[in-house]
Amino acid sequence: MDYLKIHATKTLQGKVEISGAKNASLPLIAMTILAKHPLTISNLPDVVDIKTLLKLLSKLGADCDFSHKSVRVDTSTINETKATYDIVKTMRASILVLGPILARFGHCEVSLPGGCAIGQRPIDLHLKALEQMGAHIDIKAGYIQATTPNGLHGCEIIFDKITVTGTANIIMAAALAKGVTTITNAAREPEVVQLCEILAKSGILIKGIGTAILEIHGSDGTLLDIKDFDVIPDRIEAGTYLCAGAITKNELTLTNVEPKHLGAVLSKLEEMGSSFTITNDTITIHPAQRIKPVKIITQEYPAFPTDMQAQFLALATQAEGVSIIEEKLFENRFMHVSELQRMGADITLNGHTATVNGKTELSGTDVMATDLRASSALVLAALVATDETNIHRIYHLDRGYEALESKLQKIGANIERLKE
């Protein structure tokens, strides 16, 4: 098993190229099930979650050729509609195949999902919406068994709470359904917007893209003419490297980035004293030499993203004053706090709120990654800690960050990947 060894780095400088967005890539790969012909998706991140979903498609019978950040997918050869536990257990996003498989073939079996343990992410909202669209659903022996005796039909769906994966799943199902589906309280994340935009370019009329109310006019079973496309840049990876510049107080430039997707992150970094030079596809951070404390509440897009909470918590340990970070989306997403405390961070937890007393001197030690974003928080803390930090269980990190240690090495970080 791999681990990262990191020493404090006083000087980072240069450019970091941001990879394609993992959270956009996954629904877009699942979307290929709706295509009538092969297509190529480019600017994919080379991370474990992408390979896992492509492996799942391959087991269903699709032909997937992944090389050099692009994949050629042919789903015309799919001859299986059962997504088995051995793959689904490793990644919750595997549930994204449920909507498109059911819409295309009229039946499917998908194992109940697994993945990292940041909290409960129930799929009941997905299933309730599919039932409203005419699906018959049973859960037996750990599998969702779904059929559509009369096909899927459009209807009005109101999500009780915002669900990104649920919104994507129902959008894909609605694309092949008969009639018009309206989704109220839809997720507005850029990753959902790109899914809608690609479907719209493929002949599906979708009204309200980027808003909380989507109206999708289905094709009544006709497969789609989906053209080749590029995945949008990863806003969470970009935010993580911005935090690297902020916590080490070094100027860094990000390339291949979409600044408009980072509004809440940039706003909070500005509150903490940083400033920015921004172009259409670059962001240069000019960090504060005295980091100010901050108050953060995680909420759905366009508010502050839960996927950046851990990184900002690490940054807050170096702010001069008391920062308050409230996690509103996932109940177990403070598991990294105990590891940061091992490094000397002064953090108090009260329910879903973390109080961070800064500035504290962090000391390197052995720590353990507990989930994907917690891994990057420990990396950030290690960049400013005295002595040596060893971060274990970094398979979490590999699920969502492409070549993190290589990118950090190129800008001057003292970091290396080793075997246990």
Please say if 108 is a catalytic residue: no
Greatest Cα-to-Cα distance within the chain, rounded to the nearest angstrom: 65
Query: Which tokens sit at 49?
Result: 């979650």
Distances (CA, A) of 316 to 288, 307, 313, 347: 13, 16, 5, 10
Distance CA 302, CA 295 (A): 17
Distances (CA, A) of 279 to 111, 179, 256, 285, 417: 44, 42, 10, 12, 33
Q: At what angle do helices 263-271 and 235-248 cross, to 10 degrees?
A: 10
Distance CA 47, CA 139 (A): 31
Q: Is 156 helix (H, G, I), strand (E, B) or coil?
A: strand
Nearest 10 degrees: CA dihedral of 309, 312, 317, 319?
A: -140
Catalytic residue among 116, 155, 196, 243: 116
Q: Is 224 helix (H, G, I), strand (E, B) or coil?
A: strand
Amino acid at 318: Q
Distance CA 400, CA 397 (A): 6
Name the strands in the sheet holding 15-17, side by side, starting at the edge strand that comes first in the sequence: 15-17, 252-255, 282-286, 275-278
Amino acid at 418: L
Strands 275-278 and 252-255: unpaired
Give the list of residues 6+ apart from residue 347 with CB closer than 8 angstroms, or none. Answer: 313, 317, 337, 340, 341, 354, 355, 356, 357
Residue positions annotated with a catalytic role: 116
